[in-house]
Amino acid sequence: MKSLPANLSVQLRVLVRTGRRVERLQRLPDGTIVVDIRERPVDGRANVAMGALIARTGGVPKSSVVLLSGHTSRHKTVSVPKSCYDRLRTILPVADYPDQ
Protein backbone atom coordinates (compact mmCIF):
# COMPACT_ATOMS: atom_id res chain seq x y z
CA MET A 1 0.00 0.00 0.00
CA LYS A 2 1.26 3.40 -0.91
CA SER A 3 0.67 6.21 1.56
CA LEU A 4 -0.26 9.74 0.57
CA PRO A 5 2.03 12.75 0.94
CA ALA A 6 1.85 14.27 4.42
CA ASN A 7 0.09 17.44 3.23
CA LEU A 8 -2.74 15.40 1.65
CA SER A 9 -3.33 12.92 4.47
CA VAL A 10 -4.43 13.10 8.09
CA GLN A 11 -3.72 10.71 10.94
CA LEU A 12 -6.74 9.62 12.98
CA ARG A 13 -6.83 8.05 16.40
CA VAL A 14 -9.26 5.17 16.27
CA LEU A 15 -10.84 2.98 18.95
CA VAL A 16 -12.20 -0.26 17.49
CA ARG A 17 -14.98 -2.19 19.20
CA THR A 18 -15.53 -5.62 17.68
CA GLY A 19 -18.47 -8.03 17.79
CA ARG A 20 -21.12 -5.31 17.59
CA ARG A 21 -24.60 -5.81 16.16
CA VAL A 22 -24.58 -2.47 14.35
CA GLU A 23 -21.64 -1.12 12.38
CA ARG A 24 -21.14 2.62 12.84
CA LEU A 25 -18.70 5.44 13.50
CA GLN A 26 -18.80 8.00 16.30
CA ARG A 27 -16.53 10.94 17.04
CA LEU A 28 -15.42 11.82 20.56
CA PRO A 29 -14.69 15.41 21.68
CA ASP A 30 -10.93 14.72 21.63
CA GLY A 31 -11.17 13.74 17.94
CA THR A 32 -10.93 9.98 18.42
CA ILE A 33 -13.10 7.99 16.02
CA VAL A 34 -14.95 5.07 17.62
CA VAL A 35 -15.53 2.27 15.09
CA ASP A 36 -18.10 -0.41 15.90
CA ILE A 37 -17.82 -3.46 13.63
CA ARG A 38 -19.36 -6.93 13.49
CA GLU A 39 -16.11 -8.78 12.76
CA ARG A 40 -14.14 -10.40 15.55
CA PRO A 41 -10.40 -9.73 15.81
CA VAL A 42 -9.33 -12.97 14.11
CA ASP A 43 -6.65 -13.10 11.41
CA GLY A 44 -6.83 -9.33 10.79
CA ARG A 45 -10.46 -9.38 9.65
CA ALA A 46 -11.42 -6.66 12.14
CA ASN A 47 -8.72 -4.36 10.72
CA VAL A 48 -10.01 -4.92 7.19
CA ALA A 49 -13.61 -4.26 8.29
CA MET A 50 -12.53 -1.09 10.14
CA GLY A 51 -10.73 0.25 7.07
CA ALA A 52 -13.68 -0.57 4.83
CA LEU A 53 -16.18 1.19 7.11
CA ILE A 54 -14.02 4.31 7.41
CA ALA A 55 -13.49 4.37 3.63
CA ARG A 56 -17.19 3.85 2.84
CA THR A 57 -18.29 6.55 5.29
CA GLY A 58 -15.54 8.94 4.16
CA GLY A 59 -16.27 8.40 0.47
CA VAL A 60 -12.82 7.17 -0.49
CA PRO A 61 -11.40 3.87 -1.82
CA LYS A 62 -10.50 1.23 0.79
CA SER A 63 -6.90 1.33 -0.38
CA SER A 64 -6.54 4.95 0.75
CA VAL A 65 -7.17 4.08 4.41
CA VAL A 66 -3.82 2.93 5.81
CA LEU A 67 -3.33 1.35 9.23
CA LEU A 68 -0.15 2.90 10.65
CA SER A 69 -0.03 1.38 14.15
CA GLY A 70 -2.05 -0.75 16.53
CA HIS A 71 -2.40 -3.82 14.33
CA THR A 72 -3.22 -6.01 17.36
CA SER A 73 -4.68 -3.33 19.64
CA ARG A 74 -8.11 -1.74 19.99
CA HIS A 75 -6.37 1.66 19.84
CA LYS A 76 -5.05 2.36 16.35
CA THR A 77 -3.59 5.14 14.23
CA VAL A 78 -4.93 5.35 10.69
CA SER A 79 -3.93 7.60 7.80
CA VAL A 80 -6.77 8.86 5.59
CA PRO A 81 -6.95 11.41 2.76
CA LYS A 82 -7.79 14.95 3.87
CA SER A 83 -11.07 14.77 1.93
CA CYS A 84 -12.11 11.72 3.98
CA TYR A 85 -11.17 13.49 7.21
CA ASP A 86 -13.19 16.58 6.24
CA ARG A 87 -16.22 14.45 5.40
CA LEU A 88 -16.00 12.49 8.66
CA ARG A 89 -15.79 15.72 10.66
CA THR A 90 -18.85 17.03 8.85
CA ILE A 91 -21.13 14.01 9.08
CA LEU A 92 -20.16 12.42 12.41
CA PRO A 93 -21.82 13.94 15.45
CA VAL A 94 -19.68 14.45 18.54
CA ALA A 95 -20.62 12.06 21.36
CA ASP A 96 -19.64 12.75 24.96
CA TYR A 97 -19.19 9.01 25.49
CA PRO A 98 -19.49 6.25 22.94
CA ASP A 99 -22.73 4.32 23.18
CA GLN A 100 -22.36 1.00 24.88
**Strand (E) positions, the chain?**
9-17, 24-27, 33-36, 66-69, 75-81
Please report, for the domain that includes residue 55, its CATH number.
3.30.1200.10
- Residue 13 is part of which domain span? 7-91
Q: What pLDDT digit, counting tens, does each position of 65-74 carry? A: 999 999 999 9
Q: What is the mean pLDDT of the chain?
A: 90
- Within a domain: residue 99? no
Q: What pLDDT digit, counting tens, does each position of 25-70 carry? A: 999 999 899 999 999 999 999 999 999 999 999 999 999 999 999 9
- pTM (predicted TM-score): 0.88
- Within a domain: residue 27? yes
